[in-house]
Copies of this chain bind each other. A is one copy, B any other.
Amino acid sequence: MELIVKKFGGSCLADQAAMKNAARIVSETCKSGAKVIAVVSAQGNTTDLLIRRAAALSDTPSDRELDVIMSAGEQLSAALLSIAVNEAGASAISLLGWQAGIATNGKFGSARIQNIDLKRIKTELQTHDAVVVAGFQGVDRFGNMTTLGRGGSDTTAVAVAAAFGASRCEIYSRIDGIYTADPAVVPEAVKLKEIDYGAMQELAFLGVKVLNPRAVELAQKYGVVLEVRSAFSDSAGTIIRENAKMEKMLISGVTKKSETALIRISGLEDSAAAFHMFGLLASAYINVDIILQSAVTQGNGEIAFTVEKENADDAVRLIRESGICPENALFCDKNVSKVSVVGVGMESHHGVAKAIFEALSKEKINVRLISSSELRFSVVVQKEDADRTVRAIHRVFINV
């Protein structure tokens, strides 16, 4: 019998009406003769509300206890969706992470799935049409609850689909597919029928929030075909798979990421100092993107890079404490956005950089930092210029 994994994001479960709609989607698939594993996120902004309650009690709540608190969100939506599916005429049962055999390492707050013991889900699928699995959560080898970090339900869904060799993993949200740019910013943006794993991963990493990049990586590794689609519309979504047909389009999309901070350091002693600094940031789990380093000669090296905005203060503190540069040679600008074009073969198309620069200079947009790779081309601009930058770059590529 066919087995389909359906992941429902928080917006698809936010209230009673949304919950019933998700239940209808599950039960209709069941009635068509397939078994369904539904993986759910917490309802709406539940996770944020829960974290706030812990933060009210302590500035430094334990990560372990935070995971106990946060996982209650998916626990509730799993049981509620299960009730709604039963009401919609298919039989369902909920399983929490520890019940569904989702074994993770013990890194609370950002645990990694190490193994899925399929026994319990298989048993329940023999007597039920659907199993509703609480996403985002697992259990470590000591029996502690863990969570997988933001977007972790996507990872749960893909991991379960991979473990079962499911024919499809459908990712439901309010958004009906992957567009060449955010339609709210670029009205002429086009929905993609298909996209490659690699390009999707870059888009997710660079600001397209509909899918977690780690989940895309996992899907690629195990060959799970994904479909991003809306829970509130019947229109076909975007398929994510290997060797997607891109319909003559060079690029997959233009994205904007505003949760970015630009850090610039001057007066560096030597390259070793920079190397030391990136080591420090890495061991604090701070990801660094777009690095631009000028030639370092004795005492006047300069380096600039971007980090996630939420990590900016930690990064600045670490660099300051390390003493690798004078106090007054460290700058951090949180008022920037990173705008990126994602596509295959960006570097080999010499025209790309030229076309982008022409477009941005015509718009009088000041570019702070540039980087390009095989799959993407990014510029860092002032935040207030970001939407104009997206539109200008989108015009260059989509009208070609």
Contact = CB atoms under 8 A, between A and B. Distances in A.
Contacts of A78: 68
Contacts of A271: none
A144 B58 CA distance: 32
Interface stretch (A80-88, A217-225, A353-361, A378-386): A80-88
B83 A61 contact: yes
Given A120-B143, A143-B99, A69 B58 contact: no
Task: Give the size category of A's interface with B.
Answer: 35 or more
A62 B76 contact: no
Given A57-B16, A57-B19, A57-B20, A69 B65 contact: no
A54 interface: yes
Interface string A61-80: 11011101101100110111
A94 B54 CA distance: 14
Contacts of A84: 57-58
A76 B58 contact: no
A50 interface: yes
A56 interface: yes
Contacts of A64: 93
A377 interface: no
Contacts of A76: 50, 53, 69, 72
Contact of A98 (B82, B98, B120): B98
Nearest to A87: B58
A44 to B, nearest CB: 12
A274 interface: no
Contacts of A120: 143
B83 A57 contact: yes
Contact of A83 (B16, B58, B96, B99): B58
A94 B72 contact: no
A143 B99 CA distance: 7
Contacts of A66: 79
Contact of A54 (B20, B68, B69, B80): B80
A82 B65 contact: yes
Contacts of A79: 54, 65-66, 68-69
Given A54-B79, A58-B86, 7 more contacts: A53-B76, A58-B83, A65-B93, A71-B75, A72-B75, A75-B75, A99-B144
20 contacts: A16-B56, A16-B57, A54-B80, A54-B83, A57-B83, A58-B83, A58-B84, A58-B87, A61-B83, A62-B82, A62-B86, A64-B93, A65-B83, A68-B96, A69-B79, A71-B75, A72-B75, A96-B145, A99-B144, A120-B143
